Structure 1
Amino acid sequence: MLKKTFKAIDRGFLFVEEWSLFAAVAIALVTAMANVVLRKMTSDVSLYWSDEVVRKVIFFSTYIGCVAAIRSRSLIRIDALPQLMPVLKKPLTLFSHLVVLVFSAVMIKLGWQMTMMMYQDEYARTTTLQIPEWYFYIVLPIMGGMMFIRTLIVMVEDWRGKQDITGEN
């Protein structure tokens, strides 16, 4: 039962991560390329908002990329010390997971507060496109929740001594 639940959560998160990152990066790439082509081909046509789009995509992909990094066990952590003293590997891995859980909880709490603050401020809009800023801040608590759940799944995998409880490597 637990394995099926973890596998369903993993598939759902993987779908959201891959497709949202693909769409965001594709939008940034097309926007930036179009701006460069327009600037080089014409002397007076430019997409004045392309830089803002690219900045927002970098913001988005950084935070969603954190969730993906947990799945692949690529999130930054202490790994030099366990190589020197293998007995410290499990305690330091547990410490690393606990720090990520605390960080995730902080992201949920502060991200939600910041989102609500931006939502209540009618003037909080992006500079050029005039998109409400809270659309971008909502990524923070969502990412925090996804990180928290993913970290719990990885902790269970570590506790059971399996590399990947979802059946995939």
Structure 2
Amino acid sequence: MKILDWIESAFSAVLFLAGIGISLYSVFMRYVIGASQSWATEIYTMMLVWAIFIGFSTALKEDKHIAIDIIYDRAGPTFRKISQIFTLVVGISFSVFVIWTGLDMVMTAYEQQIKTIDLNFPIWINYLIMPIAGTLLFIRFCEKAYKFFVKKEDVTHGEDILWKQ
């Protein structure tokens, strides 16, 4: 999992920084030089989307997603266990849905040979992020399920208090 952590972080950072760099280049060329670079929009949009979708998995791993802790923190251990199981089931189901629909999008775009307007770049490559992100989320939810059921940890807060009470 440490290798996956490193790969996710590296790809997300490189794609984000490259996307921002191309975006700044595009702005400079358009407003300072007066030469619009229409190709840049396609590239930096794709890079930022890929960086964000890869970041979903990292955010899940580090518990950085939006959560409503006020109810969870005041609830008893039974409610906490039930809510964590529910969260894991919904998360794994959502991940499978993203993988499935993402693969369908990729295959449809590939079969139809859809390409971007400015670069004439195959759009199915852009769509690959959907099944990749879904797979990364699936791995992270399975990791959380393992920690919850086998290691007896509170996967929302990273503690092992649920099973001690």
Same fold (TM over 0.5): yes
1:48 aligns with 2:38: yes
Q: CA deviation at 1:119?
A: 0.8
Q: Distance in 2 between matches of 1:11 and 1:51?
A: 33
SS of 2:38's partner is coil
Q: CA deviation at 1:78?
A: 4.8
5+ unaligned residues in a row in structure 1: which ranges? 1-9, 165-169
1:96 aligns with 2:83: no
Would you say how many aligned residue pairs link Structure 1 and Structure 2?
Answer: 153
Q: Distance in 1 between matches of 2:56 and 2:33?
A: 39
Q: Distance in 2 between matches of 1:110 and 1:52?
A: 23
Question: After superposition, what is the alpha-carbon deviation per residue over 1:112-160, rounded to whole angstroms, capped at 9, x for unaligned?
Answer: 11111111112x1112121101111111112111211111111211231
Q: Distance in 2 between matches of 1:65 and 1:100?
A: 16
Q: Which has the higher contact order (CA 8 A, sep 6+)?
A: 1
Contact 1:78 1:96 in 2 (8 A): no
Q: Distance in 2 between matches of 1:29 and 1:62?
A: 12
The 1:33/1:161 distance shift into structure 2, 3 A limit, reads same
Name the counterpart of 1:153. Answer: 143
C-alpha RMSD of matched pairs (Å): 1.9
Contact 2:100 2:131 in 1 (8 A): yes
Name the counterpart of 1:17. Answer: 8
Name the counterpart of 1:105. Answer: 96
1:27 aligns with 2:27: no
1:142 aligns with 2:132: yes
Contact 1:31 1:50 in 2 (8 A): yes
Name the counterpart of 2:162. Answer: none
Name the counterpart of 1:65. Answer: 55
Name the counterpart of 1:82. Answer: 72
Q: CA deviation at 1:86?
A: 3.1
Q: 1:39 aligns with which of 7, 30, 45?
A: 30
The 1:95/1:77 distance shift into structure 2, 3 A limit, reads farther
Identity across the alignment (%): 22
Name the counterpart of 2:118. Answer: 128
1:117 aligns with 2:104: no
TM-score, length-scaled by structure 2: 0.83
Question: After superposition, what is the alpha-carbon deviation per residue over 1:84-126, rounded to whole angstroms, capped at 9, x for unaligned?
Answer: 323322211121111110000111111111111111112x111
Alignment-mate amino acid for residue 25 of structure 1: F
